[in-house]
Amino acid sequence: MKMILAIVQDKDSQQLQTKLVKDGFRFTRLPSTGGFLKSGNSTFIMGVEEEKIDDALNVIKQACHTRSQYVTSSFVLPESGIGDPVEVQVGGATCFILPVDKFVRF
């Protein structure tokens, strides 16, 4: 048993949740914030048997795309002209696989 803790952008969280349910992975989802755009994200916590880790990471990889998007907020690059659209990366996931000493359910 390992724990996967995955921080997932809001744009991708619902798609990931749907795929995890469909593929029979158990998880809990916590609201979180942070990152370059200060946009919301979700933190998924999953307990996964070692032989299923690659499958789980593949599900996350499929659901969570890093991709370009243009935003006009002057927050992103204050030195650019106000309102100039700038290209930023959105989506994606940051995943930690953690060792687990013991796992119990009541």
Q: Return residues touching a copy of itself (CB under 8 A).
A: 1-3, 5, 7, 17, 26-35, 41, 43, 45, 47, 57, 60-61, 64-66, 92-106
Q: Which is nearer to a copy of itself, 5 or 86 (CB)?
A: 5
Cα(42)–Cα(7) distance, integer angstroms = 6
Name which of 43 and 74 has its Cβ closer to a copy of itself.
Answer: 43
For the CB of residue 56, give the shortest distance to a copy of itself in the complex, in Å. Answer: 11
Distance of CA 72 to the CA centre of its chain: 24
Distance from C-alpha of 95 to C-alpha of 74, rounded to nearest angstrom: 30
